[in-house]
Amino acid sequence: MTAALDVPLLSTRRVVAAVVALALGGFAIGTTEFVTMGVLPEIAEGVGVDIPTAGHVISAYALGVVVGAPVLAALGARLPRRGLLIGLVAAFLVGNLGSALAPGHSALLLARFVSGLPHGAYFGVASLVAASLVRAELRGRAVSSVMLGLAVANLAGVPAATWLGQSLGWRAAYWAVVVLAVATVAAVLAFVPSSPGRQEVTIATELTALRRPQVLLTLLVGTVGFGGMFAVYSYVSPLTTEEAGLPRGAVPWVLLVFGVGGVLGTALGGRLADLALFRSLVGAMVSMGVLLALVSLLASWAPGLLAGLFLLSATASVLVVTLQLRLMEVAGEAQMLGAALNHSALNAANALGAWLGGVVIAAGLGWTAPATVGAALAAVGLAALTASATLRRREQRTGPVRAAPAPAR
């Protein structure tokens, strides 16, 4: 993987400040992505709809991510990277401002869709910028540091914004995100170095990533294999209360354990990727399948459930980081699109895992059934990785399949 940006050599302090600025954007995005779940009853009451109807605003955001990541990454391929980052955060700010001011359900749906559009492209560009600021052997850690903003949002940003929304009205949660977006723009302007766009890259060049077998296989891993985690996470509350027999008041603590696992796994993922990217990706996928199977077996035992969810969250976070870096590695000249598509795949995984988990619960198979489904999804992801490894060995012997210009080495 190469960093496709031309930036001046920076001091360690400046690099750290730039990466923190990029991570702040991830923190803002992570907060707005998940805070809606925490204030959904308040939103439903505020816009005059029932809770299932209000839940459509969550789907609207996810749809924005899936649509926006490839479109904005392709359209912005030639733009200066810092300017593109600021433009993406500005669009994100507008979407959240619209969410805070939305007069009704329809307007809120549109605002959440707009809020989701810059999500994947931001992480794609931010990952490339972070990777360009450090030596090659540190790029995994730089990218994972950007992704750490998303993990910390689940641990701190979402609970804080949820509290604001419940205490001051649901709009306060989105106003808090607007403030974070403004802070991100200021931090990016202050600390992220300017870098020229790649004038030789076109939309057509970016779209060639979708013709690369390795890109498609990696996206399949993210969409299907990672869906197993969401099959469990979507139903973690009833899994805790109905299966493990814990009181409702224990659910926030279970989510805290899950959040801590995510932060540690994100930090670990960058270091593992720097040591051996593909092996770490395979190891994370295998571990996820095993852990999902264990959760399905141990969920009725509270300590086993807590340990399983902690390890599952950590492993899933390693998988997110390694998938991000793997897509940047195999996308060739279309690195920006490759990096952005990771988040389209993960949001598709969210929808797939939650839907399949709901199907087996509705069929009367019990609250542990989603974990069993998740293990099956992880097996499909591992099969895709096996195909990727086979193709990788063939490419190492004969050279890469040239469906698009070969990546710079």
Domains, the chain, ordered by start:
8-199 (1.20.1250.20), 200-409 (1.20.1250.20)
pLDDT band at 408 (very low <50, low <70, confident <90, very high): very low
Does 66 score more than 80 pLDDT?
yes
What are 70-121's pLDDT values in tens digits?
A: 888 878 877 888 999 999 999 999 999 999 999 999 999 999 999 999 998 9
Distance CA 71, CA 116 (A): 12
What are 18-36's pLDDT values in tens digits?
A: 999 999 999 999 999 888 8
The tokens for 390 are: 């086979």
**DSSP labels, 135-188:** -GGGHHHHHHHHHHHHHHIIIIIHHHHHHHHHHH-HHHHHHHHHHHHHHHHHHH
More confident position, 10 or 313: 313
Does 309 score more than 60 pLDDT?
yes
**Please, are residues 181 and 28 in contact by the beta-carbon 8 Å criterion?**
yes
What are 173-195's pLDDT values in tens digits?
A: 999 999 999 999 999 999 999 87
- Taking residues 284-308, what's their average pLDDT? 94
Angle between helices 139-152 and 251-275 (to 10 degrees): 170
* pTM recorded for the entire structure: 0.82
Look at residue 163 in the predicted model and tell me its pLDDT: 87
pLDDT band at 406 (very low <50, low <70, confident <90, very high): very low
Beta-carbon-side half-sphere exposure of residue 139 (alpha carbons within 13 Å): 21
Look at residue 331 in the predicted model and tell me its pLDDT: 80
Look at residue 8 in the predicted model and tell me its pLDDT: 53
Quick one: which H or E segment has residue 62?
Answer: helix 56-75
